[in-house]
Structure 1
């Protein structure tokens, strides 16, 4: 059934992005929230599908609604952002995608559960792009490598010439030293040997040309909700300018992630 899914979904309008990793806590949900924020900021209609076991993405709106913003007037949840649970079958998923396209959704972002599961492969095969978040630390390099090999094996399992999504790695939650090393000529030599090796191996993979820095904003996405409305609300409030600036910096990173995805999908 998974193999036929790749041939069943075609759309020039609605783009499907599936986020995978082989281990929990790898930044998949944060990546989904970040990408949704950028797409909303670009005026797109977005649907999130929470296929992870912990359902953190599915609770995003509830977490936002329950958050106490104290003196700052909290914005309303954007009408252009919908969060759904995944259907139980491939046929149900394809029907859902057709419904979302019919109502004008521009981007569907699918968060998946950890591990190498058949249902995750189904999500991947109906996607335009598979995104693999990668923290550039030695302890998590193996799972990124495993996820890339998994996608390579999945590509090899379908017939020659059949459609297969683009696959990109996104370096996420990187410290200032890692970012400096990545962008500076010869900067890798400034890192400890183990960090050099990990970052160097990640950058050899097909990756988006953007690094998402470590940020308290990322850790508190459940509190802030989508970044654009949060930045506006804080910017209008007395004493909220510093927070608005911090959110806007993270939103600019999100825009760069979206630009990289757009380029990969159109390539």
Structure 2
């Protein structure tokens, strides 16, 4: 069983969106997923409610996947360890823990019991400081544990990137399209340990609460009259999510 904790030092950084994308990819690959919502705004915990309350127009809304559970975190490390043991015993393949913003002790506990700490990073100047702080925080946490003790892998995930950012990162000469400050930020992010996938900006990202897990949403819209364009957009986002999960599998094999 893979355990991933998602951290950032500021709210609105894409932590919950990242958790939803990972769940969507894993479900589409036939894996069983448990999400643990440790954030104060509980957006992840309300994902199913948001989906159930959404009014779909032409498409028949699918049932919520039985292989996706969303839980609140126990109050103690011991309780969390017991919960993870129980989830593994019932055959869960992936646990993703969303955390509250800031550098909190309980978030550090989540990190230390994980296989991977994932830091979502929007590659723009205004967001760089919080990504840098999150990376330094993980470095300090690593330095605080005894030599030889297990520590999770740490990776940055470039999230919500516009076309110019993607061109800059993937196409020769593309960097020149960016303002100098954004060039500097992107170069700094790419120097960090990062997954070799960039998640593009999309309206689908903004509407994950409405769509629910992406695989069932894509299939439902594909069957609906006039739903092909929406289905294609969801499918493209799902394909990116699966690439992210493939990158994670290379770091921490499933």
Question: TM (normalized to structure 1)?
Answer: 0.94
SS state at 1:247 partner: helix
Which whole-Å CA distance do the structure 2 matches of 1:255 and 1:30 have between them?
14
Return the offset for 1:186.
3.3
Residue correspondence of structure 1 range 11-90 to structure 2 within 5 A: 14-90=1-77
Question: How many pairs were matched up?
Answer: 254
Q: Indicate the SS of the match to 2:155.
A: strand
Distance 2:216 2:145 in 1: 42
For 1:109 and 1:36, locate their aligned partners in 2 and report how far apart those are by CA, in whole Å: 8
Extract unaligned runs of 5+ from structure 2.
Answer: none
- Using the TM superposition, give the Cα deviation of residue 202 of structure 1 relative to its aligned residue in structure 2, in angstroms: 0.4
Aligned mates of 2:166, 2:155 — CA distance in 1 = 18
When normalised by structure 2's length, the TM-score is: 0.99
Q: What's the CA shift for 1:264?
A: 1.1
Q: Counterpart in 2 of 1:8? A: none
Pick from 208, 211, 229 the counterpart of residue 221 of structure 1. 208
1:96 pairs, out of 70, 83, 97, with 83
* CA–CA separation in structure 2 for the residues paired with 1:85 and 1:182: 37
Q: 1:158 aligns with which of 142, 145, 154?
A: 145
Give the structure 2 partner of residue 116 of structure 1.
103
Does residue 234 of structure 2 align to residue 247 of structure 1?
Answer: yes
Task: Please state how far the C-alpha of 1:185 moved relative to its aligned partner.
Answer: 1.9
> How far apart are 1:70 and its partner, in Å?
1.9
Q: Secondary structure at the match of 1:149?
A: helix
Q: 2:245 aligns with which of 255, 258, 264?
A: 258
2:184 pairs with 1:181: no
Q: Is the 8 A contact 2:58 2:227 kept in 1?
A: no
Partner of 2:192: 205
Q: Which runs of 4+ in 1 moved over 4 A?
A: none
Residues 105-162 of structure 1 deviation map (CA, whole Å, 9 limit, x = unaligned): 0000000000000000000000000000000110110000000000000000001111
CA distance in 2, matches of 1:82, 1:250: 22
Counterpart Cα distance in 1 of 2:226 and 2:174: 38
Query: In the alignment, what sits opposite 2:182?
Result: 195
Preserved CA contact (<8 Å) 2:128 2:185: yes
Pairwise CA distance, 1:192: 1.3
> Counterparts of 2:120 and 2:60 in 1: how far apart (Å)?
33
Per the alignment, residue 141 of structure 1 pairs with: 128
